[in-house]
Chains A and B, each alone.
Chain A
C-alpha cells in the first residue's frame, strides 16, 4: 500500500468525448420513432466519460486503499472473517451457472436445482434441522424470514402472540427483524456470566410470548450452557426458539442447534461457510426449521419427483415469496464447494480450530486487557479498554493503533453489555504467525497506552487519511458528488 496514492472521484477526471468500449454497429434497420411520445432524457447528466485505462487505474488504485482477508488477519468479532478459497470463486462463475436465467423452466436447470437441494440437505445435517430454505439474502433477512415462519406456525396453532424475548447482548438486527414481523420486543438481562438469566427468563416467558431469539454462542463468545433448560422453559409455555446462527463457526460438527431444542435458525454462509464478504455483501442467510414449521417455508420450495427436481409453488401454508427467484445462487455454489472440499472431518475442524485460536488469543492477552466475563470462550473473546482508560486511552485509540501495526482492528463497542468492548474473532484459517502478529501488536499497544498515550490518540499514522470526522459527516451529509456550479 502506497500511502500517498490519491485517487480523485471518477467524475473529477471525466472529460467530454472520452469513452471506454464500443458497441457493434446496429445490425437491424433503425426505427427512429420507436419511442415516439415517450419522455426521454437529453443526456445522462453528470455521467463520467473516461478511457478503459483510466477505469482500470481508478479501481486498482482504490483497491489499494482497502485492507482485506487476503492481506492478513481480520479479527472482527461476530463477523467470522475467514479465508475465502479461490477455487470456489472460479466454480461459482462457471458459465453453466453464471449464464443461466432464473425464469428458465425447471427441466433446463436441473443442475442448479441440484446445487440448491444438496446445500439444503448438508446444512440440515450440520445444524440438526429437518429442512432449510436458501432464499434469504443475508443474515438479517434470514432472521426476518425465521420470525415470519414462527408467526405463521403460531397463527396455525391459533394465536400469533404479542412479544418476542431478546437478550441484551443480541445483535441489533434481532429486535429490528422481530419488529417488522409485528412483534413487540422485550429485553432480557444477562447474568453475571454474560449468559441468559434463567429466573429472569422464567419470569418473562408467558403465554403472550411468541419466541425467544437466542444467539449461541452468544455475542460474548460464551456458550449458553443452560440451553436445554432455556429451550424447555420456552416450549413449556408454548413458545418457539429462534437461534441466531451468526456464531455457528464455534459449533460445526461439535453440537447441532436442532439437538438443543432450537426450532428455527439462520446461518450466514458468508461467515461459517467461507463465502467472501465483498466489502459488505452479497451474503446469504439460509434458514433451517423443524418439522412443524416446514409447511410455512417460503416459495418456491425445491421438491423431488421421479428423480427430477421440481419447483413447488402451490403450498397453502407458505409465508409467500421473500425475495425474487432462488436466493443468492452464486454464493450458494461457493458454500456447497466449501462443504464438499472439507468433508465431515474438515467441517468439524472449523469449530475446533476457531475455538483453539480464540482461546490462544484470550490466554495471551489476559493481564494486558480487561476481561469482564471470565466464562470460558468459544470462537471469540471480548476484552475491554478498562485498564487502558486509566491512561485516557479508549478502545477507539487501540483499534486505530492496530492499523499501524498492519492488522485489522477487532469489532468495537459491541456487545453493548461490555463497555469499551474489543470483540476478537480470529477464525480457524489463521496461521500462528498471524495470530502472534496480532497478539504482539495488542501487547505493544497496552505498553504504549501507559508510556505514550498521545501516539495512540493520533493513530492511525500509516494510512492515506487519518481519523475522519464522523460527526460532521452525519451533521452535514454529503452523500453524492455534484458538479460545481
Chain B
C-alpha cells in the first residue's frame, strides 16, 4: 500500500527541474559510509484487506473482550454517546496541526476555549489550560508548578493518590532537588489528618491529595486545604474520575489552589491506557506559572470575536530552558471528545450520570459485603469504587472469577503490600443490577 501521489511522469519532470539524475542523488550530502545499503528488515507491504486481517488477528489475541469487568482505578468504562465518535472523527478536527494560524483554526480554538471554560466550572477555579498528557503527568506538572509558586522543595503525596501518579511524580522530580514524602491513610481510607499535620512544615510546597482517592473514598478536601494553607503550602487536588465532579463540590470551592487529573472518563475510550486527557485548572494569580497551552479570546480589526493561542511567553518555543514546562503537543483531540461529551450530557446529564455511579457502587458494595467472609476495608464514603477484603488470597479469587467470565476487580497488594487480600471493585453506570448480582453470586461460589 502506498500513499504517494506522484505519477512516474511527475517524478521524472520534478527530478529534471531539481537538476538531479535520480532520487538517490538527492541524498548526496549523507556520507556514503553511513548509508544503509540494504532494504529495511520489515515485513512485506500489505494491502488494506491484508492489513485488516492482520490487525484483527492480533486483536483476537486479547482475551479481555467477552469478560464482565469491574476494573477502574483511574481508567473507567463509561458510556460514550454516538455524537462523540461521529463528530470527533471529522477530518477537520482529526487532521489539522496545532492552531498556530488562528484565522484558519477558529474551530479548534473555540473548542479549546469551551473546554477551558468547562474545566474551570468543574474545578471551581478561574483558569484552565488546553490539556496535559494525562493524570499522572498532570500531577507531576502541578508539583513542579507548586515548587515555582512557593519556592519550597518538599511535597506531601497522599498514599491514597493513584500509585502510578506517585511514581511519575517521583520520576519527574528526581533531578530537581524536590523531596516527596508520603502521607498515610486512616481506617476510613482517607488521609490521616494527624500524619499530615506531623509532616507539614516550612519546606512544604504542596499537599497533593486525590478525591475520590485510589480506594474510591471521597476525601475531605476542605480540611486538607485548610491544613495545607496553615503551613502556607498549596492544596493540589487530583481528580482521577472526572465524572465525580458532576456531583461532588468543586475542589476549588473547597480551597484547592490547583486542580489537575485525568478526564478519560469524559468520552475518551479505555484504549489500553491511552491517549487519555490530563487537565489543569488554577487560580488567576498563578497564571504565569501555569504549564501548557492556553487559548484566549480577542478581536480582529473589525471587532469580530476570535480566539488565539496566547500567553506563550511561558512556553518553550519563546522562553526555551526557562519555560514553565516543555510541553507543546498535548491532547487536543481528546479534549474535543470531552468537550462534546460534556456539552451533550450538559448540566443535568452529568449530575445524573454521577449519581447513577454512586448508586450502582453502593448497591454492589452492599451485595458483596453480604457475601460470607467479605468485608469492606474502609469506612469512608465512596463514589463509584470501593475496596473489599477477602478471606482468600486475591490471585486465587481472581482466577476463579475469571473462569466464570468475570474480571472481579483490581488486586491492591502489588501497589499496597499492607492491603494483602484486598481488591478495588469499580461499578459504573455500564453495569446492570443483573451483572452486579452475578458478581456477588459468583464471589459467594468462589469463596464457599
Contact = CB atoms under 8 A, between A and B. Distances in A.
- B partners with A: yes
A302 interface: no
B246 interface: yes
Interface in A45-74: 45-50, 52, 55-56, 58-60, 62-71, 74
A324 B165 contact: yes
Interface string B91-110: 11111111111111111101
Contacts of A408: 101, 104
Given A23-B356, A175-B321, A470-B298, A259 B34 contact: yes
A144 B326 contact: yes
A342 B4 CA distance: 10
Interface in B295-322: 295-302, 304-308, 310-313, 315-322
A325 B1 contact: no
A464 B304 CA distance: 9
A109 B3 CA distance: 31
Contacts of B328: 138-140, 173
Interface in A364-388: 364, 375-376, 378
A66 B100 CA distance: 11
A343 B91 CA distance: 26
Interface residues of B, number: 201
Nearest to A107: B63
A225 interface: yes
B44 to A, nearest CB: 5
A40 B346 contact: no
B398 to A, nearest CB: 8
Nearest to A285: B329
B433 interface: yes
Contacts of A81: 97
B432 interface: yes
Contacts of A137: 133-134, 137, 274-275
Interface string B214-244: 0000100110000000000000000000000
A315 B420 CA distance: 23
A256 B36 contact: yes
Interface stretch (B153-161, B166-174, B197-205, B368-376): B166-174
Interface in B94-137: 94-108, 110-114, 116-118, 120-122, 126-128, 130-131, 133-137
Given A20-B83, A173-B328, A469-B300, A276 B58 contact: no
Contact of B56 (A45, A96, A298, A469): A96
B321 A322 contact: no
A280 B35 contact: no
Nearest to B65: A96
Contacts of B45: 340-346
A359 B297 contact: no
Contacts of B97: 74, 76, 79, 81, 277, 279-280
Contacts of B248: 38-41
B304 A465 contact: yes
B438 interface: no
A403 interface: yes
Given A98-B269, A403-B103, A140 B274 contact: no
Contacts of A91: 51-52, 55-56
Contacts of B14: 356-357, 360, 432
A101 to B, nearest CB: 4
Nearest to B74: A324
B42 interface: yes
Given A346-B1, A364-B17, A59 B340 contact: yes
B279 to A, nearest CB: 13
Contact of B134 (A98, A324, A432): A324
A191 interface: no
Given A69-B96, A280-B98, A254 B330 contact: no
A227 B31 contact: yes
B378 interface: no
CB-based closest 6 A-B pairs: A325-B273, A343-B45, A96-B59, A278-B333, A102-B273, A182-B175
23 contacts: A23-B429, A31-B363, A38-B381, A62-B106, A65-B105, A67-B105, A71-B91, A108-B64, A138-B330, A227-B31, A253-B39, A279-B98, A279-B333, A280-B329, A325-B273, A341-B3, A341-B48, A353-B4, A359-B26, A376-B29, A460-B103, A465-B305, A481-B114
